[in-house]
Structure 1
Amino acid sequence: MSVAHWLVRALEALGIDTVFGIPGVHTIELYRGLEGSRLRHVTPRHEQGAGFMADGYARASGRPAACFIITGPGMTNIATAMGQALADSVPMLVISSVNRRAELGMGEGRLHELPSQQQTLSGVSLFSHTLLDPANLPRVLTRAWTMLHTGRPGPVHIEIPRDLLDAPLDAELPLPGRCHPPQAATAALDQAAAWLGAARRPLLLLGGGAIADPAAARALAERLDAPTLTTINARGVMGRGHPLDLGANATWPEVRALVAEADVVLAIGTELGETDYDVTFDGGFTLPERLIRIDINPRQLCGNHLPALGIVAEAGAAMRDLLPRLTPGAHEAAARVAELKAALALATRPDFAPFVPLFDALDQYRRDAVLVGDSTAPVYAGNHLAQRDATRSWFNASTGYGTLGYGLPAAIGAALACPERPVVALVGDGGVMFTLAELATAVELALPLTLVLWHNAGYAEIRQAMTHAGIAPLGVDPAAPAFLPLAHAFGCAAERISSPAALAEALATPCTAPRLLEIDAAAWQTATSPASRGSAATP
């Protein structure tokens, strides 16, 4: 069979079931291979959308999807999505075409030519390889697949020259043997247990790596009796309303005081990055000297905060191995957490309070939903306010790479990955314009997706930042389209929302196809002002 046919059959053998891509003249042979296969192909309206869909698919399900991307502009288009996936440790398999082998590096102005496509994409990939011999494809694919499953996840990229896609390949389909991630050293676990056992004020930090085993994470927090901070990507790992869970609130002064009091900090599966621990970007988040870090990536252990004890291991296995070594703590942590939550009073903060009714309505009518967010005001508030019952139910692009336009296509990926669950995308009028064309994809697929659009007339966050810095706001007031008729033109139901009661009434209606709920931010703010806050958030 040809390389293209072999590759499609190999993806099936590896368990891939969904491919996102836009066919082009350089990739049509891949589509010859798709004919008659079990792979579901989804056509986005832009390659960036393909990458975000694959990202949302993986975050919601824990399973990687594949992308088939054309040479040159297709790859530079998806590079932004790959950068977001790399920053947030999201697995993604990107297969692309590239110019013929004899043309590579020649700079002769060929169609879609880059000086070095592989070099361009290697900066947003864990692994990027140019196939030069068809016989190497089984080994290259096996290596890429192994990297997706045994280390810190992220995007991997294989590019195949045009003249090889229809080349013959007679090889066994790859079914890689099971590769075990690294396990914690016994001596390191014993040392960690000794320090934690002697601690009077332990503190637990859980990152996205910990969602592999939420039960072990909760058991560890309870055994230590330690206040627990979770990152945005770990939302739900402690369940809803756990008495030890402080959420993603490490940036507030009250919580920083708690961190400063800690004598031992255990950080698991977290890069300790500023978008989780220092969202005021003042460098004020510091950790005590006795810091224990557990991470699957040895390079990560030395990033941001140097540990006194670094343990290279997969988070779930390390937590399970550490638990029997620990004696139950008695630190009255739940009382300390309750005291801190009362002091924070996040629901009454002027910048958060207007969004409390929004999340109340989502809890009432979409409690089991996957909530996918862009960089927008409701998401910023939700990073601190939203409660989730389980992991893989809250993720957005406001961390790490911080890409605008993520929410809608990532929600499409989540809806495809988890058809049994409702999916809600939280977007802003500025950010959604980056990828609004993907609404056509959602309509084409007839996905029961709710798009909640916060319309505050442009880039409000940047407008406020410019004003605060004494800079005349410029470039932050892009003209918005009339979203309702635009949605109708796509074939999408749409309505305008001006109050919590109207949102609750809309969410109470079953969603069987894509629909857009446009929240008029000014009207909503008026409806949720202190003078009007007594109005009920029910229909």
Structure 2
Amino acid sequence: MGERSDGARNGGDVVVETLTALGVSHVFGIPGQNALGLFDAIRRSDLTFVSSRVENNSAFGADGYARATGEVGVLFLSTGPGALTALGALQEAYATGVPLLVITSQVPRSGLGLRRGMLHQLDDQQRSAVNVTKSTAVASHSAQLPSLLADAWSLAQSAPAGPTWVEIPQDVLLEPTDTPPVTSVVTAVADRAPREELVDAAAELLSAARRPVILAGGGVRRSRRGSEALVALAERLDAPVVSTVGGKGAIRFDHPLSAGSWIEDRHTTALLEDADVLLAVGTAMGEVTSNYFTFAPKGRLIHVDAESRVLEANHPALAIHADAGLALAAIATRVVSRDAGDGAGIAAGLRHAVEDRLAAQDVKTELALMRDLRAAIPAAAQTFWDMTIAAYWAWSAWDPQDGEFHSGQGAGGLGFAFPAAVAAAIGTGQRTFAVSGDGGAMYSIAELATARQHDADVTWLIVDDGGYGILREYMADAFGQATATELARPDFVALAASFGIPAHLATLDTVGEVIAGTFSTRGPAVVVLPARLHMFAPTHHTSATT
């Protein structure tokens, strides 16, 4: 670690020393006037700073890094406009349960709570973050920083995980400190174990079930050993497992009990409804998962989640407030194994029913694209999907295989995929794959500079259909025509090339081959696919004949 020329240390040094003691290696963000003391301290540390071009993309980057590495994503933000610009991306991390430590600068202490006309000053910056974070805090002197940061780092990972927010005034960062160099930290990441009587009640219901089904959400993936515990319980119950979009990969698709993740399908909705006992774990059973609130369970529902506010929010249930993995493991030790079920047959039957329904629709182009992309991308690659028609297909159709599937559908904002994939590539050292539409791509286009600056091994597929494709389709279906969905856009191939990034124009026939070729190269690559895709037909479970 380097030193200041005068040998003094300041609050900025205390921050980076604390982060280093916490095991942090990468930090994301953009420098700002009130945060200069923090950024100067990075120079004297071993932290790797990843500079993006828009603060919202910095937050998406920290989010993608956390998802890909399993570490806490650390984000540095400047005061006022910089901090506010990141809030949209923080909503995604908050909704999805991604652990982030957000460190933002503040005006000097003499301006807090006042209107002194300081640059970047807000009436109450902390209040702006409350809606998208688990906690907020403001430091008043440098001696507080190690504890504030360690507590926020711990809380970010405690179930349910999510972003935490610490503000540090400019003068606290710049003033000399008497705090000894930080070489140790005290952390306390809290597990949330299930209550014993609830485990007993759940095990009793499941042991007596004739048609048990498990719905596995993102909380299972995020929980330590959650996937392992899910598979163990499913096998003891011989129960088919449906994955939500966020839970995709909690059980391998090639496991006999996996019923896939065709969550917006009437056959899947019916399977979940007809279970005499449905165990929903790590999911709010929200809009998408419930097939747009058409799901109406007929049997008993056991609902497990680490976020207490989602329990019974949509349906009465035996509610278990607990970490998904801990609850699944505890229930598995107490259920009676079922030998008379046909979980594998039910799972396979559901998959075949979905395939038959799709075969009767004009969606051969979209199915072929999904197959070609899956064949082109290595089995272990991590993929990142924006809110675009190709991603809506991937929610249901994509098999993560040995990799991880990441989507921006927690909050549903645009621009997640590319900055998240860039950061994940930097953090893992492995090539990642991102998919955006042309509308969403414009949210992230500045990050071509980030990808080039850091030589990130990332392949970005931009499906260019000339506008906001999914909104075009929704509006046309609802109103007969679309409004404000058509977009002027750049020549994406030429634009990427202007950043010094290899760019390729593909067709539906060649896109798989082109993308596969990028995985044998180094550095960023862009593939542009002009194509107008369509969704599969509405599948809401409104009657027995739909």
- Asked if TM exceeds 0.5, the reply is yes
Instruction: Flag the 1:412–1:336 CA change in 2: closer, same or farther, 3 A.
Output: same
- Are positions 1:52 and 2:60 aligned together? yes
Decide whether the 8 Å contact of 2:275 with 2:299 is kept in 1.
Answer: no
Cα deviation, residue 349, structure 1:
6.3
Give the equivalent residue in structure 1 for 2:446: 437
- Whether the 8 Å contact between 1:19 and 1:39 is mirrored in structure 2 is yes
Q: Does 1:469 align with 2:478?
A: yes
- Structure 2 counterpart of 1:250: 263
Q: Which has the larger displacement, 347-356 or 53-62? A: 347-356
Counterparts of residues 214-225 of structure 1 (less than 5 Å): 214-225=227-238
Q: Which residue does the alignment assign to 2:346?
A: 336
Tell me how far apart the structure 1 counterparts of residues 510 and 491 of structure 2 sit (CA, whole Å).
Answer: 23
Following superposition, the deviation at residue 55 of structure 1 comes to 0.6
Cα displacement string for residues 383-411 of structure 1 (whole angstroms, at most 9, x for unaligned residues): 111111246x11111x2310111111011
What is the match of residue 448 of structure 1?
A: 457
Q: Secondary structure at the match of 1:277?
A: coil
Query: 1:348 is matched with which residue?
Result: 359
1:474 offset after TM fit, Å?
Answer: 2.4
The residue aligned with 1:160 is: 168
Alignment of 1:233-272 (within 5 A): 233-272=246-285
The match for 1:424 is 433
Q: TM-score, normalised by structure 2?
A: 0.90
Show the 5 A alignment for 1:439-518. 439-470=448-479, 472-509=481-518, 510-518=520-528
Distance in structure 1 (CA, Å) of the matches to 2:367 and 2:264: 20
| Alignment partner, residue 539 of structure 2 | none
Partner of 1:42: 50
Question: Are the aligned partners of 2:72 and 2:157 in contact in 1 as well (CA < 8 Å)?
Answer: no
CA contact (8 A) 1:72 1:114 kept: yes
Q: Which residue of 2 aligns with 1:395?
A: 406
* Equivalent of residue 273 in structure 1, options 280, 286, 289: 286
Could you list the per-position Cα deviations for residues 199-236 of structure 1 after superposition, in whole angstroms to 9, with x for gaps in the alignment?
01111011111113222211211111112111112111
Residue 374 of structure 2: aligned partner: 363
Which digits, 9 at most, give the CA deviation of each residue in 1:245-300, with x for residues without a partner?
Answer: 2233233222222222211111111121113332xx3x211224521122223333
Corresponding residue for residue 231 of structure 1: 244
- Post-superposition CA distance 1:114-148 (Å, at most 9, x none): 11100011111111111123332233222212211
Hey, what's the Cα distance between the residues in 2 that align with 1:142 and 1:117?
A: 21
C-alpha contact (below 8 Å) 2:126/2:136 kept by paired residues: yes
Between stretches 167-176 and 229-238, larger displacement belongs to: 167-176
- What is the aligned counterpart of 1:184 among 194, 197, 204? 194
C-alpha displacement of 1:74: 0.2
Are 1:56 and 1:410, in contact at CA under 8 Å, matched by a contact in 2? Answer: yes
> Which residue is equivalent to 1:374?
386
Could you report, residue by residue, the CA deviation over 1:91-131 in whole angstroms, capped at 9, with x for unpaired residues? 11110111111212222322111111000111111111111
Q: Which amino acid aligns with 2:202?
A: A
Map of 1:115 onto structure 2: 123
Paired letter, 2:77: I
How far apart, CA to CA, are the structure 1 residues paired with 2:44 and 2:67?
A: 28
In 2, distance between residues paired with 1:147 and 1:352? 45
Deviates more, 1:491-500 or 1:133-142: 133-142
Q: How far apart, in 2, do the equivalents of 1:347 and 1:39 lie?
A: 50
1:312: Cα distance to partner? 2.3
Q: Does 2:397 match 1:385?
A: yes
Alpha-carbon spacing, 1:151–1:445, altered in 2? closer, same or farther (3 Å): same
Residues 135-186 of structure 1: CA distance to partner in whole angstroms, max 9, x if unpaired? 3223322221221122211111101111111231415555224444121222
Q: Distance in 2 between matches of 1:425 and 1:378?
A: 11
Match of 1:150 in 2: 158
> How far 1:347 moved relative to its partner?
5.4
Q: CA deviation at 1:494?
A: 0.7
Change in CA separation of 1:116 and 1:426 when aligned onto 2, cut-off 3 Å: same
The answer as to whether partners of 2:59 and 2:89 remain within 8 angstroms in 1 is: yes
- Contact 2:244-2:261 at 8 Å conserved across structures: yes
Letter of the aligned partner of 1:244 in structure 2?
A: L
CA–CA separation in structure 1 for the residues paired with 2:498 and 2:413: 27
Select which of 285, 295, 298 maps to 2:308. 298
In the TM superposition, residue 432 of structure 1 has moved relative to its aligned partner by 0.5
Other-structure match for 1:105: 113
Where 1:265 maps in the other structure, the secondary structure is strand
Letter in 1 for 2:288: T
The answer for unaligned runs of 5 or more in structure 2 is 1-8, 535-546
Structure 2 counterpart of 1:362, one-letter code:
L
Match of 2:219 among 204, 209, 213: 209
For structure 1, which runs of at least 5 residues remain unmatched after alignment?
526-539
Deviation at 1:46, TM superposition (A): 0.6
Alpha-carbon distance between aligned partners in 2 of 1:489 and 1:349, rounded to the nearest angstrom: 44
* Deviation for aligned residue 1:334: 1.5
In the other structure, the counterpart of 2:543 is none
Separation in 1 of the partners of 2:286 and 2:88? 20
1:196 maps to what in 2?
206
- 1:87 corresponds, among 76, 95, 101, to 95
Q: Is the 8 A contact 2:103 2:167 kept in 1?
A: yes
Give the stretch that moved more between structures: 125-134 or 170-179.
170-179
The one of 309, 316, 320 aligned to 2:325: 316
Deviates more, 1:464-473 or 1:343-352: 343-352
CA distance in 2, matches of 1:86, 1:338: 35
Tell me the CA shift for residue 450 of structure 1.
0.7
Give me the whole-angstrom Cα distance separating, in 2, the residues matched to 1:276 and 1:169: 53
Offset, 1:3:
1.3
Structure 2 distance, partners of 1:285, 1:473, is 29
Greater mean deviation of Cα atoms: 134-143 or 478-487 = 134-143
* Aligned equivalents of 1:464, 1:56: Cα separation in 2: 29
Structure 1: which amino acid aligns with 2:372?
A
* CA contact 2:62–2:423 (8 Å) conserved in 1: yes
Deviation, 1:244, is: 1.8
The DSSP-based 3-state class of the residue aligned with 1:135 is helix
Structure 2: distance between partners of 1:252 and 1:120: 38
Amino acid at match of 2:390: P
Task: Compute the displacement of 1:302 (Å).
Answer: 3.6
Aligned to 1:11: 19
CA distance in 1, matches of 2:259, 2:322: 25
SS in 1 for 2:21: helix
